[in-house]
Structure 1
Amino acid sequence: MSDGYSRLIEKIKENKLNCDLSIIEKAYNFSKAAHEGQHRESGEPYIVHPLEVAGILAELELDCTSIVAAILHDIIEDTAYTSEQLRENFGDEVVMLVEGVTKLGKIPYTTKEEQQAENLRKMFLAMSKDIRVILIKLADRLHNMRTLKYKAPEKQTEIAKETIEIYAPLAHRLGISKIKWELEDISLRYLDPQGYYDLVDKIAKKRKEREAYITQITETLSVKIKELGIEGAQVDGRPKHFYSIYKKMKTKHKTLEEIYDLFAVRVIVNSVQDCYAVLGLVHELYKPIPGRFKDYIAMPKPNMYQSLHNTLLGPEGIPFEIQIRTWEMHRVAEVGIAAHWKYKDGGGTNSTELDKKLTWLKQLMELQKDMRDAKEFIDNLKIDLFADEVFVFTPKGDVISLPVDSTPIDFAYSIHSAIGNKMMGAKVNGKLEPLSYKLKNGDIIEILTSSSIHGPSRDWLKIAKSSQARNKINQWFKKEKREENLLRGKELVEKELKKQGLTFSQLFKAEWVDILLKKYNFNTLDDLLAGIGYGAVTAAKIITRLKEEYKKTLKPEEIEALGLDSAVQVRPEQKKKAVPENGIIVKGIENCLVRLSRCCNPVPGDDIIGYITRGRGVSVHRRDCSNMVNIMENDDRLIEVSWYTSSNVSYKADITVMVNDRTELLMEITNVIGEAKIPLKAINARTTRDQVAVMNLTLEITNTEQLDNIIKKLKKVKSVFEVTRNKQ
C-alpha cells in the first residue's frame, strides 16, 4: 500500500469515523488500477490526487461514502470506466456523488467561458440534491491549488481567479473556514505574487513584537479566567490569514502599519454561559471600541458560525480583536456544514436541521429555474450568494440575511413574492424610507402593501441588489406581460436579423429551434420570443446559434459569398462598389494581383510605391523601405500606386511594446486595445532576464492616424517605456 493510502487510514482512525476499512481498500485498489499509467503535471502517479482529496474529507470528519466517492471521483471523467461499472462495485449513492463532481462530457459549446459556466451550474444542481457533492469538489480544488505550481502561468491565473470568485466564497457559505482561508491565500499568491510576497515579508519583520504583544494579553486573560472559576478554557493568539489583511489594505486604502488587529485573541470555553462571563471580564480589563461588538451566538451567521466578536484597546492603546466561543462552536467554525456528517453510533444527520442551514441553497435553485443563460447564472451567483451580508429584522424579530447594500425591495421579496408585488412603501425603524434606502445591520423593516398595487415597477430591477428579488420581479413581468414581451421579442429578433442581412425563414427552421428550446428550457417558439422580450436571453445570442446551424447547410463558397463568417452581415443593397484587393489602386491597371510587403508593413497614410515582380503581381512598399531605397531611381519595374480610402478596408500593422514586467500587465495592454475598438489579430510575448516584457502585437487598422493614437495610449500604460512600429 502507498504512503498516501496509509495516511488516509490513519486519519480515519484518528477521527474515529464509523467507516468500513475494507470498502476504502476496495475503492483504493479500483482507482489505482483505473488510473494505472496516468501521471499528474508534478510527475506523481495520478492515484496520489484522489487519496489526498479523500484525506482532506477525512480531516473534515465526513462519512465513509464521501471518502469512497473522493477516491473514485475522477474515474468517469479520466478513465475508460463507466458509471455502470462503478455502480456494480460501489452502489448508487457513490455513483451519484461521483457524477455530481464530474464535468460535462462531449457537449458542444460556443466558448470556453460558457462551458465553464455550464459545469458550475451542473455542480450546483447536483449539490442541491446532496451537499456532499460540493464538499468533495472543495477538497478536490484545495489539493489542485496546493499543486498549482506545476501548471502553466496562464492556467495558474485562470484557476486562481475562479477559486477566489467561486470556491472560496462557497467554502465561506458552508462555514468551512479552514478550507476558505487556504484557498484564498494560495489564490492571492498566483493572482498578485508581488503583493503577496511583499505582505509576507513585511509581516515576518514585525512578527516577534506582535507575538510578544498578544502573548502579554493571552497570559493576563488566562490568569483572570482561572480566578473567575472557569475551568478548561483555552486562550491563544491567532494570526489573521494573508488574504484578509490584503483585502483590508486594498478596500480601506491602508498600509500594513495602519492595521493593528493582525492577530486575534481566541478564547474557547465549555459553555455559552462561560462565553458571556469571559466577555464581561474582557470589558473590565480592556476598553471596547464602540460599534465593533458582534454577537453571533444569539444571532448565528447563515453558515452556522457562532462566536462573540469585539475589538478592544489593549496595553499602550493598540487595538486587538477577540473571539469567544465554545468547543462545539469552534469545531463548526472550522468545518462548517461538514460537522453534520460526523456519524455517531451509526446514526445519520438530522435532515430537517440540515435543511434549515441550507435555506440559501433553496434560493439558489429557485434562481436557477428561470435563468436560461449559464454565464448569467454564475454572474448572479457571485453577486448574490457570495456577497457580504447585512442582517435585518422583521417586526416580529425574525432575522433576515441579505447581500450588503440591499434595499426594502430585496427584503420584501425575501419574505414572499406576493408581498413584493403588492409593496407600496417601507418603514425602517418606524420611519418611512424610500425604496432605494440601503439596509443596515440591525434595521427593523416593515413592508407597507396595498391591494390597489398591480405589480412591481421595471425601475425596481435597477434598485434591487439580490438576484432573488430581480428574478421574482422578472417572473411577474414574464407572466403578466406575455403579449407585450412576445411583441418586443419579435421586434428585437427582426432588428437583429436586419442588422445581419438574414431573414426569419432562413434561420428559424423547426429542427434548429428545437435545439434552442431544449438548451434554454423553453416549451415553444413563442415562449422563446417572449423570453427575448423580457430579457431572459438576447436576440443576438439566439441569431448567432441559428446562424451556426444555417452555415452547416451551405458550401464554403456560399458562406463566403453571403459573408456569414463576419460578425455583422452587410445586406446586398448596402454593399458599395467593389473595393480593390488590399485597398490599393495601381495606376493604369485593373484586376491586378497586389500584395502588401511584409518587410515594411505599409498602412494607409504611408507614402508608398509599387514594384512589379515576376509572376507575383505588384508588391507594395513604403517609399522609405530599405529594400526600395537602392532601386528607387533606376528600376523600370516601379509603378505608381495609391491607397483606396475607405473605412471598410482594414490592414495589419505590427508594433512592439517594451515594458517592465509585472502582474496584470497583459490584461491592461489588451484592455487599452479593446477600448479603442481595434481588433488584436496576434500577440507574442516573452520576458528577458532583466524582467523586461517584449510584446509583439499585430493590429487590424484602417489608417496611420489610428495606429499613432493607439501607440500614444499604450505609452501611457504603467511600466511601458517604449512602443515602436515594426518597419522591418
Structure 2
Amino acid sequence: MNRRPIRCPEDYGIPLPDWLRCCIEHVPPGQGETCPTDTEALLAAAFDFAFQLHDGQVRASGEPYIIHPVAVADLLRDIGASASVIAAGFLHDVVEDTDVTPEQIEEHFGAEVRALVEGVTKLGGIHFTNKTEAQAENLRRMFLAMASDIRVVLVKLADRLHNMRTLGALKPEKQQRIARETREIYGPLANRLGIGRLKWELEDLAFKILEPEAYREIKQQVATKRSEREERLAVTVELLRQRLVVSGLGACEVSGRPKHLYGIWSKMQAQQKAFHEIYDVAALRILTPDLESCYRALAVVHDTFRPIPGRFKDYIGLPKPNGYQSLHTAVIGRHRPIEVQIRTAEMHQVAEYGIAAHWKYKEGGSPAALGNDAERFNWLRQLVDWQKDGGSEDSSDYLASIKEDLFDEEVFVFTPTGDVVGLRKGSTAVDFAYRIHSEVGNHCQGVRINDRLCPLPTPLQNGDFVQIITAKNAHPSLDWLNFVATPTARNRIRQWYKKSHREENILRGTEMLERELGRDGFDALLRGEAMAKVARRCNLVGTEDLLAAIGFGGVTLQQAVNRLREEIRLSSQAAAPVLSNEELARSVTAQADQASQPAPHHHVEAGSASPILGLEGLEYRLGGCCSPLPGEAIVGSVALGNHGITIHRQDCANVTQVPVERRLPVRWNPLADGGRRRYPVQLRIAVLDRVGVLKDILTRLSDSRINVSDARVRTNPGKPARIDLRVELASASQLGTTMDQIRAMADVLDIARSGIG
C-alpha cells in the first residue's frame, strides 16, 4: 500500500481527541512511514493508516467508519494501555474490512502490533449463541487468543463498549443479541480482569436494552432522589473530612460516588427488595496516601459513625481474585446506612483499570511475562491447559468451568504457608488440591483442615487453613466426582482415568457403542470417515480417543450416537437423489404397508399384564378419533352389538355423545410392558413448501427412534404444504417432546394432533 505523508489534524475532517491532535502535530516530516519507534509517531501513523483504509466506509448510523476505531483507541488510552495496544485499537478492523494483510501491518508497524491486530481479528468472528457446542468452541478460541497475549482482550472490550454505546442504528433483534453477549461474557470478563470502569458501563448499556422498563424506572428513581442524596452526602463528607484532619489524616481524599444502575437492579432482584429498601445507591470513598492510613481511616469512620455488624470486609488482606483491594464497611450516618470504601490511590487505579493499571508490557502480554502477577491469571492458564490436555470433550462441562472462573469466587482459604486461594462456594479439599496443582490432586490421600484430620468431602469455609496429605501410590477415585464442586477438579479426575486406563476405556467404549448400534457393519463403521468426523466434533484426535472418552464418561454415549447419525445423514443426503415431498411420502407409506399390520382389536386374557386396567378379559380397540396414549386420562365406551369396547381420551369430543351407562371406567397399566409397546398417533404439520422438508422431519423422527407408518403430503400453490404423519409412540410425554422437536424446525409453521382416518 502506498503511504502519503500525515496531514494536519484539520485536514481529516472528523473530530479528533486532543491527545491525537497533539500526536499528529508533533510528527516530524518523514516520520511514521515504516515501523515508527517514537510513541507519538506510532499513534499518528496508525491513525492515518486506518483513516486511508476506511475512507469511504460508513457505519450503520451513516457516520464515517473511522470514528469507531478512533473511539476504541481513545478508550484504550483512558484505561492506560500502552502505545502498541492503542495502535492496535486504530487498526483492529483493517484486516477484516479491507484488503490489507497482516504482513503489511507488520511491515509498517512491527510484529507486536501485527500480533495484537491478528488476535483481535480472530476474536471478531466469535458470536455467542444459545447452542452449547458452538458457544463452547467460540469460548475456546477466545481464551486461546487471550493466553497468547491477554492485551488482545483489552482491545476487544474497548471495541465492544463503543459498539454498545452506538447500538441504536441496528435492528432490535441484533441489539438484543449483542447486549446478551455483553452481559453474559464481556461484562464478567472485564470484571475478571479487574477493569471496573469498563464493566460498569458494559453492564448498564446491556441492562438498558435487555430490561428497558426496569432501566427507565430505576434511572428515574435515582434522578428523583439525587438532590436529597447529594445534600446528605455532602454533609457526611464534610464531617468525615474534618475528623480525618483532626486525626492527622488530612492527606486523605473523601468523595461520594453513585452506584451503577445494573448493580442496583441486581441487588433488588437478589434480595427481593424495592428501590427504597436499597440503602447503598450511593457510597463514600476514601483514598489514602499509604496502606497504614487505610486502617487508621477505618478507625476514624467507626469512631464517627456507628458501624453495622457483619458489614465489614477486608479485601486488602484478602484481595479478590481479579486483584481488587479495598476496605468495605457500612455505617449509620444521618439516620441512614452508608457504604464506605477505603483504599490507596494505587488500589483505586487497579479497581478502575485492572490489568492496565499494574501490568507493564515491556515483555509482551503472555502469562509467562507476568512475573509476580501470574497468579492473577491462574484461571486463564488452567482453562488453556485443560484445552491442550484434551480434557474438555463435554461442552456443558467446559461452559460450566468458564462460568466458574469468570464470575467471582466466594470462599477464601489458606495454604500452610499462608497464601490465599480463592475457590467456588461448596468446594472441598479435592477442589483445593487440584487448584494448587494437578499432581497434588492426583496423589491426594487426606486433608488437615485447621490442623484436624477431616474427610475429603468436607466443604471448606472462609479462613480455613488447608493442608493436603499426599502419597506416591495414591490416585483419584471416581467417588470424588460425587462431591467435587469445580468443573476443573472434575475434569482432572476424568483426565487421570482417561490416561491411566486408556485400553480399558477403549474396550468399554467399544462395547457400549456396539450394544447401541448393533454388530452388523460395526467394524466398518468404526473405520469410517463419519466416526472420525464425530471424534473431531468432540475435540478429539481420532476414533480411539472417542471410544476412550465414551468409556470413561467424557463423552456421553447418546451424544456420540446422535452426532454419528447426523454425519451419516449428511453424507447420505449428498449421495442420494433429491426426492420431492410427495415421492418421499409414497415411499414411506409403501414401506409401512410391507411391514406387519397391527391387529385392530386386542383381547385381554384374565390375569395377563394388559395395557388397560378394568376390561376384565374383554376385547377392545383404541379410538382412532383421539388416539389415546399412556399417561392420558381415558374412558371405555361399550359399543352396541358385538363390537367390543373402544378406548377414548376423556376429553375426546365423541365421549360426550356416549350415554353414561355405556361408559366404562378404565386406566392405563404402568406395569404392563415397561413402556415397550407403541401406539399410533396422527400428526398434522403445516410447513413451507420446499423440496426436502419432509425428509428433514423424517430424519428428526428417525434420530429419536420413532417409527413412521404413514406419510401423506398435500400442496396448494402459493400456500403452506400439509403433511399428515402417522407415528408410533410410547406415551403422552414422548408425544409432547416429539411435537416440540418438530415445532422447533425452521420451516415448520404449525403442528397439531389429529384423528386417525
How does the TM-score come out when normalised to structure 1? Answer: 0.74
Report what 1:51 is aligned to.
70
* Structure 2 residue 254 is matched with structure 1 residue 254: no
Q: In the TM superposition, what whole-angstrom CA distance separates every residue of 1:440-464 from its partner, at most 9, and x where no partner exists?
A: 321222334556644222x322422
CA contact (8 A) 1:54 1:70 kept: yes
* Structure 2 residue 62 is matched with structure 1 residue 62: no
Matches within 5 A, 1:575-724: 576=595, 605=626, 647=680, 649-652=682-685, 677-679=738-740, 698-703=749-754
Q: Residues 322 and 504 (structure 1 numbering): CA distance in 2 closer, same or farther, change over 3 Å?
A: same
2:739 alignment partner, SS class? coil
Matches within 5 A, 1:505-584: 507-515=525-533, 520-537=538-555, 538-540=559-561, 542-544=563-565, 546-547=567-568, 550-551=571-572, 553-557=574-578, 576=595
1:313 alignment partner, SS class? strand
Post-superposition offset of 1:604: 6.2
Q: In the TM superposition, what whole-angstrom CA distance separates every residue of 1:241-283 from its partner, at most 9, and x where no partner exists?
A: 1112211111222222222122121001211121111111111
Judge which range, 301-310 or 196-205, deviates more: 196-205
Post-superposition offset of 1:434: 4.7
Judge which range, 474-483 or 459-468, deviates more: 459-468
Report what 1:419 is aligned to.
440
Rounded to whole Å, the distance in 2 between the matches of 1:342 and 1:172 is 19
Matches within 5 A, 1:175-194: 175-194=194-213
For structure 2, the residue ranges without an aligned partner over 5 or more in a row are 1-11, 26-36, 599-623, 628-652, 654-677, 688-732
Larger radius of gyration: 2
Q: Residues 673 and 573 (structure 1 numbering): CA distance in 2 closer, same or farther, change over 3 Å?
A: closer
Report what 1:165 is aligned to.
184
Report what 2:711 is aligned to.
none
Judge which range, 517-526 or 126-135, deviates more: 517-526
Report what 2:486 is aligned to.
466
Rounded to whole Å, the distance in 2 between the matches of 1:168 and 1:347 is 21
* Structure 2 residue 141 is matched with structure 1 residue 80: no
For structure 1, the residue ranges without an aligned partner over 5 or more in a row are 580-602, 607-623, 625-644, 655-671, 685-695, 706-728
Matches within 5 A, 1:217-616: 217-316=236-335, 318-340=336-358, 351-369=370-388, 370-372=391-393, 376-431=397-452, 433-449=454-470, 453-457=474-478, 459-497=479-517, 503-504=521-522, 507-515=525-533, 520-537=538-555, 538-540=559-561, 542-544=563-565, 546-547=567-568, 550-551=571-572, 553-557=574-578, 576=595, 605=626
State the AA in 2 paired with 1:546.
E
Post-superposition offset of 1:196: 1.8
1:52 alignment partner, SS class? helix
Question: Could you tell me which of 105, 108, 115 is aligned with 1:96?
Answer: 115
1:396 alignment partner, SS class? coil
Q: Residues 193 and 447 (structure 1 numbering): CA distance in 2 closer, same or farther, change over 3 Å?
A: same
Post-superposition offset of 1:360: 2.1
Rounded to whole Å, the distance in 2 between the matches of 1:324 and 1:605 is 71
CA contact (8 A) 2:54 2:65 kept: yes
State the AA in 1 paired with 2:407.
F
Post-superposition offset of 1:53: 1.0
Q: In the TM superposition, what whole-angstrom CA distance separates every residue of 1:517-544 from its partner, at most 9, and x where no partner exists?
A: 5555534421221022223333135414
Report what 2:218 is aligned to.
199
Report what 1:593 is aligned to.
none
Post-superposition offset of 1:201: 2.1
Rounded to whole Å, the distance in 1 between the matches of 2:425 and 2:365 is 39
CA contact (8 A) 2:444 2:475 kept: no
1:678 alignment partner, SS class? helix
Post-superposition offset of 1:110: 12
Judge which range, 416-425 or 61-70, deviates more: 416-425
Q: Residues 371 and 454 (structure 1 numbering): CA distance in 2 closer, same or farther, change over 3 Å?
A: closer
CA contact (8 A) 2:244 2:297 kept: yes
Rounded to whole Å, the distance in 2 between the matches of 1:421 and 1:699 is 54
Rounded to whole Å, the distance in 2 between the matches of 1:473 and 1:89 is 48
Rounded to whole Å, the distance in 2 between the matches of 1:106 and 1:328 is 36
Rounded to whole Å, the distance in 2 between the matches of 1:137 and 1:454 is 42
The alignment of Structure 1 onto Structure 2 pairs a total of residues equal to: 604
Post-superposition offset of 1:313: 2.3
Post-superposition offset of 1:422: 3.8
Q: Residues 576 and 42 (structure 1 numbering): CA distance in 2 closer, same or farther, change over 3 Å?
A: farther
Post-superposition offset of 1:496: 4.9
Q: In the TM superposition, what whole-angstrom CA distance separates every residue of 1:403-446 from its partner, at most 9, and x where no partner exists?
A: 22322221121123333334444443345555444333212223
CA contact (8 A) 2:92 2:121 kept: yes
Rounded to whole Å, the distance in 2 between the matches of 1:367 and 1:396 is 27
CA contact (8 A) 2:400 2:487 kept: no
Report what 1:128 is aligned to.
147
Q: Residues 605 and 524 (structure 1 numbering): CA distance in 2 closer, same or farther, change over 3 Å?
A: closer
Rounded to whole Å, the distance in 1 between the matches of 2:42 and 2:383 is 34
Report what 2:642 is aligned to.
none
2:287 alignment partner, SS class? strand
Rounded to whole Å, the distance in 2 between the matches of 1:406 and 1:4 is 53
CA contact (8 A) 1:409 1:435 kept: yes
2:467 alignment partner, SS class? strand
How does the TM-score come out when normalised to structure 2? Answer: 0.71
State the AA in 2 paired with 1:491.
E
Report what 2:20 is aligned to.
9
Rounded to whole Å, the distance in 2 between the matches of 1:563 and 1:433 is 66
CA contact (8 A) 1:496 1:543 kept: no
Judge which range, 20-29 or 374-383, deviates more: 374-383
Rounded to whole Å, the distance in 2 between the matches of 1:10 and 1:292 is 48
Judge which range, 448-457 or 347-356, deviates more: 347-356
CA contact (8 A) 2:148 2:365 kept: no
CA contact (8 A) 1:422 1:456 kept: no
State the AA in 2 paired with 1:9.
L
Q: Residues 149 and 324 (structure 1 numbering): CA distance in 2 closer, same or farther, change over 3 Å?
A: same
Q: In the TM superposition, what whole-angstrom CA distance separates every residue of 1:87-136 from its partner, at most 9, and x where no partner exists?
A: 222222222111212247999x9997644543332221111111111111
State the AA in 2 paired with 1:320.
I
In percent, how many aligned pairs have the same letter? 43
